[in-house]
Amino acid sequence: MPRPLKILNVVGARPNLVKMAPLLRAMKRHKEIETFLVHTGQHYDERLSDVFFRQLEMQLPDANLGVGSGSHAEQTAEIMKRVEPLLLRYRPDLVVVVGDVNSTIAVSLTAAKLGIRIAHVEAGLRSFDRSMPEEINRMLTDALADYMFVTEECAIENLLREGRPRERIYFVGNVMIDALHQSLPLSQSSKIGDELGLVNGGGWQRFAMLTLHRPSNVDSVETLHGLLEGIVAVAEEIPVIFPVHPRTKEKLDSSKVAAHPRLQLIPPLGYLEFLSLMSHATMVLTDSGGIQEETTALGVPCLTLRNNTERPVTISHGTNQLVGTDPAKIMRAAQDVLENGRKPGRLPPLWDGKAAERIVETILTITEM
């Protein structure tokens, strides 16, 4: 009997955990695969990491690099230093990285220099804005990857334009949506709506959700003030629930913007609690990429507080629209949702909850070549 295919899987930040959970489940259904999970520790707060392992029913990491926070250069370098001995010791046949965080590029760089094959899940997404650190991570990871698994068809065009070989690109769907399919029923038993006073007489009242974490939005006092001005205007019309990312909390403390009584700031949420709120929200305002995808799958209107998106299919097919950071534009878009309700969207191709299995079956086929 041939030895199992040794796959080292990497997570580092909260979105990675959501994407990796379906992949690990799919891999464990195949006896010919031996899995090894590495957590770089890029997100180390219990509310940003540990709770996700529990709620997604993921195996605990086989190794935690404990890198913690730091500048982009410090974090990337530290991950490379700590993962290299592990790669040399374990000697995987394949390294699987997801998304576009510092952990993704750091492990890819290290594996590539050791001659270890790399599979990038969520490849080919482009905002065409190099001021976004994630854009640099995406482009470099795809340049190093041996196999690229894409979530939407425009990603194929992006990769071909950059000279990547077509035979190494696989259109498989979206593992983020796999996780949503698996967790949505369980999320509906969450009591978070009751705890936040959003459920009256057994029914949900209208409310909006807000997330903010991108440096371009929260590091500039002027931009952050403008965004909050728009959000406060929305809160005049509808309660806004704002789970505050630790990075954003630091900036809010010095922003000198008075909290509106209907703008409810709360700590970060677990995946199930967040999913419960998002599925019942009247609208979601966000600068997150993954939330643009999840709201598309849920049919919930999404107002993206950015001037670009690396996920254009959420606009062409889904419920997403770019509103930028101008307060007046934010309010106009929110008012349109409140007055006219949800615009019809449709699921993009292959967003059917089966992406992880397609990826694993493809890996088993291509690694035999």
The 3-class secondary structure across 280-291, one letter per residue, is HCCEEEECCHHH
Task: Specify whether 151 is located in the same domain as 40.
Answer: yes
Q: What is the structure's pLDDT at 261?
A: 83
In a domain, 345, yes or no: no
Same domain? For 333 and 212 the reply is yes
Q: Which of 30, 72, 181, 213 is catalytic?
A: 213
Q: Is 340 left (phi over 0), alpha (psi -120 to 50) or beta?
A: alpha
Count up the domains in the chain and report the number: 2
Domain that holds residue 14: 5-174+351-366
Residue 138 placed within a domain: yes
Q: Are 291 and 179 in contact (CB under 8 A)?
A: no
Give the range among 109-113, 151-155, 212-216, 231-235 with minimum mean pLDDT: 212-216
Do 137 and 30 reside in the same domain of the chain?
Answer: yes
Same domain as 329, residue 273: yes
Q: What is the pLDDT of residues 185-220, one digit of tens each?
A: 999 999 999 999 999 887 999 999 999 988 888 888
Q: Write the DSSP string, 320-341.
A: EEE-TT-HHHHHHHHHHHHHH-
The secondary structure of residue 318, as a DSSP letter, is: S
At residue 294, the pLDDT reads: 97
Q: Are residues 207 and 295 in the same domain?
A: yes
Measured torsion, CA atoms of residues 262, 268, 270, 276, in degrees rounded to the nearest 10:
20
Confidence of residue 43 (pLDDT cuts 50, 70, 90): low
**3-class DSSP state for residue 302?**
strand
Regarding whether 312 and 359 lie in a shared domain, the answer is no
pLDDT given for residue 225 in this prediction: 86
Each residue's pLDDT tens digit, 296-316: 999 999 999 999 999 999 999
pLDDT band at residue 155 using 50, 70 and 90 as cut-offs: very high
pLDDT confidence of residue 14? 87
What is the C-alpha to C-alpha distance for residues 355 and 113, in angstroms, rounded to an integer? Answer: 29
Which 3 state secondary structure label does DSSP give 264? strand
Q: Are both 59 and 134 inside the same structural domain?
A: yes
- pLDDT mean over 10-29: 94
Q: Whole-number mean pLDDT of the chain? A: 92
pLDDT at 123 over 90: yes
Per-residue pLDDT band at 50 (split at 50, 70, 90):
confident
Separation between Cα atoms, residue 173 and residue 19, nearest integer Å: 12
Band of pLDDT at residue 259, cut at 50, 70 and 90 = low
- Does residue 180 sit within a domain? no
Check whether residue 29 and residue 120 sit in a common domain. yes
Same domain, 335 and 355: no
Q: Give the tens place of pLDDT for each residue, 73-102.
A: 999 999 999 999 999 999 999 999 999 999
* 255 pLDDT more than 70: no
Tell me what pLDDT residue 196 has: 96
Q: The tokens of 133 are what?
A: 């650190």
Q: What is the CATH number of the domain that holds 319?
A: 3.40.50.2000
- pLDDT, tens digit, for every residue of 215-242? 888 888 889 888 989 999 999 999 999 9
Residue 202 shares a structural domain with residue 321: yes
- Please say whether the beta carbons of 146 and 119 come within 8 A: yes
Q: Could you tell me if residue 328 is inside a domain? A: yes
**Is position 182 within any domain?**
no
d(CA 149, CA 26): 15
Task: Tell me if 183 is assigned to some domain.
Answer: no
Contact 162, 150 (CB under 8 A): no
Sheet holding 208-211, edge to edge: 263-266, 240-243, 208-211, 283-286, 302-304, 320-322
Residue 31 lies in a domain: yes
pLDDT of residue 166: 98
This prediction's pTM: 0.94
DSSP string, 346-362: -PPTT-SS-HHHHHHHH
- C-alpha closest to that of 133 among 8, 249, 20, 289: 289
Q: How confident is the model at residue 252 (pLDDT cuts 50, 70, 90)?
A: confident
- Interval 316-349: pLDDT, tens: 999 999 999 999 999 999 999 999 988 888 999 9
Q: Note whether 163 and 194 are same-domain residues.
A: no
Instruction: Give the lowest-confidence range in 5-9, 60-64, 155-159, 174-178.
Output: 60-64
Domain membership flag for residue 346: no
Which pLDDT score is estimated for 222? 86
Cβ(239)–Cβ(262) below 8 Å: yes
Distances (CA, A) of 248 to 94, 253, 278: 36, 9, 20
Dihedral angle, C-alpha 126, 131, 132, 134, nearest 10 ° = 70
User: Is residue 317 annotated as a catalytic residue, yes or no?
Assistant: no
The owner of tokens 């464990």 is 28
Judgement on whether residues 198 and 263 belong to the same structural domain of the protein: yes
DSSP H/E element including 53: helix 50-55
